[in-house]
Amino acid sequence: MKRRDFDNPDLPLSELFAQWPELMRVFIEQRMLCPGCPIAPFHAITDACIEYDLDEDDFRDALLADKAAPS
């Protein structure tokens, strides 16, 4: 599978979860239902933040921090 660009604003959540499954934890901690949602192939991070009324910059920072953390 081709490696996707994490910063691509159009990256579907389903592809984000496939490439970086560890990031599902950040969504779950925010009580988001995106992991496993049938709409995940059609939504990006921006869409999810709008749906859950989250600050996108803060949420992306949390994702980046988790992505950078050692496994």
Looking at beta carbons, which pairs linking 51-59 to residues 24 or more positions away fall under 8 Å?
Answer: 54/30, 59/26, 59/30
Reading the block at residue 52, the tokens are 């859950």
* pLDDT higher than threshold 90 for residue 41: yes
Across all residues in the chain, what is the average pLDDT? Answer: 91
Amino acid letter, 33: L
Average pLDDT value for residue range 9-21: 95
CA nearest 60: which of 25, 26, 14?
26
> What is the pTM (predicted TM-score) of this model?
0.86
